[in-house]
Amino acid sequence: MQKPSATASGKPLLVAVTGGSGSGKSTIVRKVCEHSPDLPIAILQQDHYYRDLSHLKPAERDAINFDHPGSLDMALIQTHLESLARGVAIDRPTYDFATHTRTKEVVRMEALPIIMFDGILALHDPGIRRLFDVSVFVDVPDDVRFIRRLRRDVRERGRSVEGVIEQYLGSVKPMHDEFVAPTRRMADLVISWERWNDRSIAMLANAMRELYEKS
């Protein structure tokens, strides 16, 4: 079946999924898509929008605080979400985490009827926040998020335990407390994701379907 190109009103539904690092945002976005494979959902990840640091020396790049909002190209995020909200496709940048640079490759992303934006700072910037029709904050205690992050970075990213702890205490935690945690109260919906909570996935997917079909 061909996917429709827009909702009845012609305006895509924009859904923000935010919360701290390791809370389970990307997992939830994936599970919503698996729960409702017929929903025409496109996923946009904040991670592609880190600023290009090719003008800095490699040692200087490593000193950047990647958990600070200033490390992201917020203006481009806003421009791209505004395009998608109007039903206009974007050329999404691609970021190379190994070199902290934006690669030449761009990825065309069509404005499907439902856009899910996944990022720790989705609700931080007022100009971006106002673009979302629905926002979800994934709520998980800090200790659990830290343990998940430690596991993921050691197992999947080849990092040392000491290195992960240092980064957590040095930038991840202070930036979370200052910029991410305060956006919890700005979200429409808070999902408790300390355990696998499949009911919350079903409820979110069903709410999105209802908004999509009515819009």
Ligand X SMILES: Nc1ncnc2c1ncn2[C@@H]1O[C@H](COP(=O)(O)OP(=O)(O)O)[C@@H](O)[C@H]1O
Residues of this chain that bind ligand X (CB under 6 A): 19, 21-27, 148, 152, 193, 195-196
4 vs 196 by CB, closer to ligand X: 196
CB neighbour list of residue 69: distance below 8 Å, 6 or more residues apart? 121, 124, 125, 179
Other residues' Cβ atoms within 10 Å of the Cβ of residue 172: 25
Plot region of 87 (φ>0 → left; ψ -120 to 50 → alpha; else → beta): left
Taking only Cα atoms into account, the Rg of the chain, rounded to an integer number of angstroms, comes to: 17
Task: Give the residue, chosen from 6, 26, 82, 92, that forms a contact with Mg ion under the rule CB under 5 A.
Answer: 26
CA dihedral 20, 154, 94, 11 (to 10 degrees): -30
CB of 108 closer than 8 Å to CB of 89: yes
50 vs 193 by CB, closer to ligand X: 193
> Looking at 20-28, 91-99, 126-134, 193-201, which segment touches Mg ion (CB under 5 A)?
20-28
Q: Which does 18 bind (CB under 5 to 8 A by kind): Mg ion, ligand X, none?
A: none
Site track 58-87 with Mg ion (rule: CB under 5 A), x = hit: ------------------------------
Nearest residue by C-beta to Mg ion?
26
# chain residues binding Mg ion, by CB under 5 A: 1
22 vs 40 by CB, closer to ligand X: 22
Orientation angle between helical segments 25-35 and 198-214, nearest 10 degrees: 60
Q: How far is CA 113 from CA 15, 18, 24, 27, in A?
A: 11, 20, 24, 21
193 vs 212 by CB, closer to ligand X: 193
Residue in the block written with tokens 């408790």: 192
> Looking at 24-32, 52-60, 85-93, 190-198, which segment touches Mg ion (CB under 5 A)?
24-32
> Least distance in Å: CB of 24 to ligand X?
3
> Least distance in Å: CB of 116 to ligand X?
12
Residue in the block written with tokens 């020396």: 57
> Looking at 1-9, 22-30, 104-112, 130-138, which segment touches Mg ion (CB under 5 A)?
22-30
Q: Which does 48 bind (CB under 5 to 8 A by kind): ligand X, Mg ion, none?
A: none
Token pair of 174 as six digits: 């202070």
> Looking at 23-31, 67-75, 94-102, 202-210, which segment touches Mg ion (CB under 5 A)?
23-31
